[in-house]
A and B are shown apart, each in its own frame.
Chain A
């Protein structure tokens, strides 16, 4: 448990560092939300100043950070200028949507990477192996943006899939099953895009780790014992080479969130991506800070999860930290 504690402390330090960094950088940035209002002749300068005072923008930077920390501890994470609401109430529903999209995409791309990677590694040099190598290299080269645009093109041209959003308009009073069907139709293309963006990276690592394991003597021994191929692959070989893959799982959260940001914007998925873009264009600084911290926290939590998994999987790490 000392291990987990150590990791949590590290994570908190990183988050605090990011909050301070983004706070300082954003306050050094020229232009703010109210500079455009200031140009409006119908609003007096005095009322703009009053507004700025109300949001605490007239105070010194450390004082503003103090205010923000207090607000963050209360769970508000500051106020959005554009929506005049606490940042948290603005981004929580979007965090949920982003998480929904990413969990599905993560699960599917790992599932396929594990299955296909093990399958190809078990046939080194065979046509299946070479074919998947060529296929995944192609997927790797095509950028996520092009996948997203190509799928959007398919959706718009064929009308087989909804071309964006998360729910159809007429779904508010519908039954749960038809709502679920509607949601999965909306999920399909974004998940496919994110999955295709992440899969090749995962596949390559799974394939090389498995190939390494399958070449080692203990696997041959297991085969010699008469264990079936799938049993050898997933019960013997996989746990032995799981460590780098688990670390990759931790990193893949961050990778996935990045891909998802762009995909959400292209498919107008109501996640963190579109509102981040909107708040950058509108100079809504507390929303930017909030989203950056939340996305960092999500990636860090993913990493912590991977660390716990590592601790659980590898007796050597357990022994080291006991």
Chain B
């Protein structure tokens, strides 16, 4: 296995995905909360280069849906087409809360709609919701993992460096908590927060709650490395030359934890993405109409959705491919850490 296949490729894919998700407003054709009440559960829109008479169009077109009056039953109306338009103006959005615009990468003019991944029960575009939901799901995983690893690094190096009572206390605590069912703890912690909060507040508190649960393993690993690193000859020598403890920690000890921290990040991030998805799926995460991959999947708890609208499961399949990239990345990092000289 070459390095590029197991490390660079998944990393590049993930970076691209995060970039796309940040630019969700531009790439998605609609606002995630825009409802087309006359188009509930519309199947994914097919994009045609050939019209019904076989004529070729360089600019692809979509057919309008023809409803025969029954709920969520559609037929393509081959007589009415709409060309796919690029860089058109639509719903306003902001990128990272600073840059405001209403320019969209693609879309179609009313009364046609383009639902690449279909639409949900309120007639909201699943593709737009998936991109905006990624902002919540991907970044809560990323930030919560950052919090966890930060705590792990801090507590682990303190325990490893000082030893004594602090060390014993921290290690017993992580040991005790490692055995407990984490999802029960997560729900219990969630129970302590108010049920109804603004989306931004929920997002930050979810990150705090999820991030607080998982620092144990990272702390233990960091502690182990710090314990062995501080006894190394060059560290002892540097101390002999009068280096301060802070300098030693920063210059010689903590850099050695880099491999472990990166590996843990690749393991923790997907777990935390799933934790957010689980909470939102159960209705304890970000609330509608804000999209998260979790609350998109929770529509599948209705049997009618499971039987009739197969495209509602597409976000879940896309989620699996994201998790797969993280998995490959973690494996590759693990191999590199194992084969590194430390």
Contacts and interface: CB of A to CB of B under 8 A. Distances in A.
Interface string A4-18: 000000100010011
A153 interface: yes
A217 interface: no
Contact of B183 (A28, A140, A258, A285): A258
A302 B179 CA distance: 9
B307 interface: yes
B263 interface: no
A276 interface: yes
Contacts of A149: 297, 300, 306, 313, 316
Contacts of A153: 300, 306-307, 313
Interface centre among B180, B190, B320 (most CB of A within 10 A): B180
A234 to B, nearest CB: 27
Interface stretch (B109-117, B120-128, B279-287): B279-287
A298 B184 CA distance: 12
B278 A145 contact: yes
Contacts of B317: 146
B192 A28 contact: yes
A146 B316 CA distance: 7
A243 B320 CA distance: 33
B241 interface: no
A141 B188 contact: no
B192 A281 contact: no
A296 B183 CA distance: 11
Interface centre among B178, B182, B191, B278 (most CB of A within 10 A): B191
Interface string B23-58: 000000000000000000000000000000000000
B306 A277 contact: no
A281 B188 contact: no
A105 interface: no
Nearest to B284: A280
A264 to B, nearest CB: 11
A196 interface: no
B179 A300 contact: yes
Contact of A288 (B191, B274, B303): B191
B265 interface: no
B195 A299 contact: no
Nearest to A254: B181
Interface in B266-289: 274, 277-278, 281-284
B185 to A, nearest CB: 7
Contacts of B227: none
B9 interface: no
Contacts of B185: 292
Range class of the A interface residue count = 35 or more
B320 A265 contact: no
B189 interface: yes
Given A149-B300, A157-B306, A261-B187, A281 B181 contact: no
Interface in A260-319: 261-262, 265-266, 276-277, 280-281, 283, 285, 288, 291-292, 295-296, 298-300, 302-303
B240 interface: no
Given A29-B192, A137-B327, A152-B306, A254 B179 contact: yes
Given A143-B274, A280-B187, A295 B181 contact: yes
B159 interface: no
B277 A141 contact: no
A29 B194 contact: yes
Given A137-B327, A262-B278, A288 B319 contact: no
B177 to A, nearest CB: 8
A17 B177 CA distance: 11
Contacts of A150: 313
Interface in A136-168: 137, 140-143, 145-146, 149-150, 152-153, 156-157, 163
A25 interface: yes
Interface in A234-259: 250-251, 253-255, 257-259
Nearest to A142: B320
B193 interface: yes
B297 A145 contact: yes
Contacts of B327: 137, 140-141
B249 to A, nearest CB: 31
A71 interface: no
23 contacts: A10-B172, A10-B176, A22-B188, A25-B188, A28-B192, A29-B191, A143-B323, A145-B274, A145-B278, A149-B313, A150-B313, A153-B300, A156-B303, A253-B181, A257-B181, A261-B187, A266-B301, A280-B187, A283-B195, A292-B184, A296-B184, A300-B179, A300-B180
In order of increasing CB-CB distance, the 9 nearest A-B pairs are A258-B183, A257-B181, A25-B192, A295-B184, A280-B191, A254-B181, A258-B181, A14-B176, A29-B192
Given A251-B179, A281-B283, A302-B179, 5 more contacts: A141-B327, A145-B297, A156-B303, A259-B183, A300-B180
Interface of A: 10, 14, 17-18, 22, 25-26, 28-31, 137, 140-143, 145-146, 149-150, 152-153, 156-157, 163, 250-251, 253-255, 257-259, 261-262, 265-266, 276-277, 280-281, 283, 285, 288, 291-292, 295-296, 298-300, 302-303
